[in-house]
């Protein structure tokens, strides 16, 4: 019997970190830009020197959609495109506001919610501040 080690992909690593409550971004050693969603190579300069880093978690709501759902299905859901201060964007939701109270320009901070062992990135609105 032989044991084979399969190299872990960056996306699997990212999810494992999320499951442990940590939200990390890749930062490119070639051009210094942040990269998200995780990749094997930098989309800006092609470098494969991508380093995992913790970061501010701060961002701004760039676009917002309210997905209408029946109360039985969990009610309306906010889907927001968040631009992090590090310059990358991701789809997520603002968790501490009513779905239709989320505004473009709202300042938010990332938080990892771990449910059933699986980590998910959510955002909380930061009091009063709009960009």
**Residues of the shown chain interacting with Zn ion in the complex, contacts defined by CB under 5 A:** 28, 30-31, 42, 44-45, 47
Give the residues across from 123 on adjacent strands.
94, 110
d(CA 35, CA 33): 7
d(CA 37, CA 43): 10
Output 30 or 62, the one with its CB closest to Zn ion: 30
CB of 18 to Zn ion, least distance (A): 23
CB of 49 to Zn ion, least distance (A): 8
Report residue 2 as tokens.
């032989």
Output 44 or 68, the one with its CB closest to Zn ion: 44
Q: CB-based burial of residue 102 (10 Å sphere; 0-12 exposed, 13-18 middle, 19+ buried)?
A: buried
Output 47 or 66, the one with its CB closest to Zn ion: 47
CB of 24 to Zn ion, least distance (A): 17
d(CA 30, CA 46): 8
CB of 45 to Zn ion, least distance (A): 3
């Amino acid at each position: 019997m032989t044991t084979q080690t399969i190299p872990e992909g960056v996306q699997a690593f990212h999810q494992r970190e999320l499951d442990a409550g940590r939200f990390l971004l890749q930062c490119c050693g070639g051009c210094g830009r942040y990269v998200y969603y995780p990749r094997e190579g930098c989309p800006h300069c092609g470098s494969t020197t991508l380093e995992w880093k913790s970061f501010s978690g701060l961002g701004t709501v760039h676009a917002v959609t309210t997905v209408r759902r029946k109360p039985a299905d969990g009610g309306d859901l906010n889907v927001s495109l968040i631009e992090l201060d590090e310059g990358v964007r991701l789809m997520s939701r603002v968790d501490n506001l009513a779905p239709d109270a989320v505004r473009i320009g709202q300042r938010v901070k990332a938080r990892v919610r771990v449910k059933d062992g699986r980590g998910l990135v959510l955002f909380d609105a930061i009091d009063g501040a709009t960009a």
